[in-house]
Amino acid sequence: VQHELFQTYIWCCAVNDLGRECTSLFTIDLNERQVAPLPELLLKVGEPLLIRCRAVHRNYKFRIKLSFENKEVEQDHQFEGLEYQPDRSAIRIQYAFASAAGRSNSGRYTCSSTVHPNQTALVTVL
């Protein structure tokens, strides 16, 4: 299961008698071109917030960081991972999360790297 956390796209689906509903994990991927306007995630107060920062590079020594309004996400609200590839490149991921989003979680989330240009997404909690 851990290997799947590093994939480019992650989908989660639920099925019941009423049908099937799927959603993709909101990801800022530093290896993809930034789109304009800023990508936006809309949530309702109380819904879980989960954002992923992802980057691939030929040298595993690079670093990534996910920040909220220009401040590093607090340690108890983030986790990260590193996966080595057969060609000696590496995939780094960092997640920021809140079990129940509040309006204070609204703002700009920026994914930065020591080797990639920064990318930003806008989160709005209504």
So what's the pLDDT on residue 101? 94
The CATH code of the domain that includes 121 is: 2.60.40.10
In b/e form, how buried is each residue of 64-73, taking b as 16+ CB within 10 angstroms?
bbbbbeeeeb
Asked whether residue 47 is domain-assigned, the answer is yes
Asked whether residue 13 is domain-assigned, the answer is no
So what's the pLDDT on residue 72? 87
Cβ burial, residue 28 (10 Å; 0-12/13-18/19+) = buried
Asked whether residue 20 is domain-assigned, the answer is no
Per-residue pLDDT of the chain (126 residues; tens, 9 = 90+): 477 777 888 888 889 999 999 888 899 999 998 877 889 999 999 999 999 999 999 988 899 999 999 998 888 888 999 999 888 899 999 999 999 999 999 999 999 999 999 999 999 999
* Predicted TM-score (pTM) of this structure: 0.87
Considering its fold, how many domains does the chain have in total? 1
Asked whether residue 44 is domain-assigned, the answer is yes
Asked whether residue 81 is domain-assigned, the answer is yes
Asked whether residue 7 is domain-assigned, the answer is no
